[in-house]
Structures are given as structure tokens and as C-alpha cells.
Amino acid sequence: MGALAVVIGSGCGGAQHARARAPSPRLAGRTARAAAAPVRTVSRLDLGRSVRGRPIVAVHIRGERPGRTVLVVGCIHGNETAGIAVARALERTRARRLDLWEVEDLNPDGVAAGTRQNADQVDLNRNFPQGWRPLGRPGDQQYSGPRALSEPEARIAYDLIRRIRPSVSIWFHQPVGVVDESGGDLGVEQRFAAVSGLPLRRLTRYPGSAVGWQDATMPGTTAFVVELPPGRPSGDAVRRYARAVLALSR
């Protein structure tokens, strides 16, 4: 929590690099009110480090008229990386109605090693506090860790979410190719399914999952899993998934 609080509280400097499009010289003669109109900003926030010391970063994109606060986590299981491309595509969007937070990669050690788990061999999506219970042993597919929030990557997501309280959170996984009815507002999940072209299905709900914690403890918000199809998504597919995220941002 400490690093994040410092970064967000500071508003400038430190690890935050806000980048706003400066008004063009042509606008210089306009009224002060027009000059003060909000612009699109992209900020990068250093959230902390993984077990192996790799940085975990959030990108915050605010459009000219911020809409609902939406969080996208591109990757939590290190061998399911397709969502990272979706997150990166969203960073280039010019949508005006946007208040979008993204963690492209919550499990950089797992991505580097090509493993589902983090460097402690923990399944991060079994390490959140809601209904946490011991599952498996180190190296097992769904090892939940020694206790809830034992892993720095899970704590980083937990702290970020409690701070920004997203109305909608989308956690990308692979390879099932469905939008999971994970809890929260079914209409939100239906909308994502309709725009993305992925079918809506209810998958097994596991103890200690990130969306389970969010949906149980933050009433009025919706967190859900999107299982993208296997392999690397095409450019068309990435754009379609990005449009589905933007459809929930208005």
C-alpha cells in the first residue's frame, strides 16, 4: 500500500509520469475556460515488485469526460498472456469517456518463466482473502499459498482495488474462450459477451479468487473473468476485446 499511496498522493514526480497533450499554439488565443478543459492523460504508476523483484505497473488513462472506473488486469496466470495485448491496445484508445486502470501484467515472474504460478509456485488467483483456504502444495496447479495475501503480487492488486474501487473489473485468462458469469451485475457480463463475441457461461467458482473477493466485498461493483481463446489473438480479435472493455466504460 505504501508505494501506491505515495505515488497517487503526490500527483506528480516520483514514479508517476503524467502525459497530457499540450494545447496547440492555435488554441492560445481562446478563453481561459477552454484552455482549462480537461485533456486525456496517461499516467504510469509503480505499484511494487514481484517475488523476483520485477516491477508491477498500473497505467491510468483518463479521457476528457471520465466515465465509470474500469480496471483491466491483462494477466494473472503467467502462461495466459493474451490479455496483455488487449491492455496495450486500450492504452492507444482516444475514447473520451474513460476512467481506465490497467495492470498489464500482475505476474511478471510467471510470464518470464512461462508458468501459471508466481515465483513462489503460488496460484495468485487462489491467494485472495474471500473464502481462502489451503489448496494443494507448492508446484500444484492451484496451490493457494500458506495464507491469504501471502504473495506480493496479490497484495499489490488488493491494495490497488481497495484504493480505486473500480465499478467494473475485467480479469483476462485463457484458454476457454468464454465470458465467465463470475458474480456482480449479470448485465455487465452480458454486454461484454455481446460486444466481444465470446459466449457467456458460468465456470467453477474457486475459493481465494480475485473476482470472488471483489464481488463479495464490494457491493454495487462487478468483477468478472474473461477466458480468451488459446494462442496469440489476431489484431481483429484484440480490437474486438478492447471495444468490449470500452463498451463498459461509458
**Contact residues for Zn ion, defined by CB under 5 A:** 77, 80, 173
Considering the complex, what minimum distance in angstroms separates the CB of residue 143 from Zn ion? 14
Q: Give the count of beta carbons closer than 10 Å to the beta carbon of residue 219.
A: 7
Considering the complex, what minimum distance in angstroms separates the CB of residue 214 from Zn ion? 16
Quote the CA–CA distance of 198 and 179 in Å, as a whole number: 6
Helical (H) or strand (E) element with 78: none
- Four-residue CA torsion sign, 183, 47, 21, 29: positive
Q: Which is nearer to Zn ion, 42 or 200 (CB)?
A: 200
- Closest by CA to 158, choosing from 132, 121, 182, 190, is 132
Considering the complex, what minimum distance in angstroms separates the CB of residue 172 from Zn ion? 8
Considering the complex, what minimum distance in angstroms separates the CB of residue 209 from Zn ion? 10
Q: Which is nearer to Zn ion, 16 or 130 (CB)?
A: 130
Three-state DSSP class for residue 235: helix
User: Which residues face 170 on adjacent strands?
Assistant: 72, 224
Q: What is the DSSP letter of 25?
A: G
Quote the CA–CA distance of 170 and 183 in Å, as a whole number: 12
Considering the complex, what minimum distance in angstroms separates the CB of residue 123 from Zn ion? 9
Quote the CA–CA distance of 92 and 103 in Å, as a whole number: 15
Q: Which is nearer to Zn ion, 60 or 173 (CB)?
A: 173
Q: Which is nearer to Zn ion, 117 or 221 (CB)?
A: 117
Considering the complex, what minimum distance in angstroms separates the CB of residue 174 from Zn ion? 7
Q: Which is nearer to Zn ion, 80 or 99 (CB)?
A: 80
Q: Which is nearer to Zn ion, 80 or 159 (CB)?
A: 80
- Closest by CA to 84, choosing from 69, 96, 73, is 73
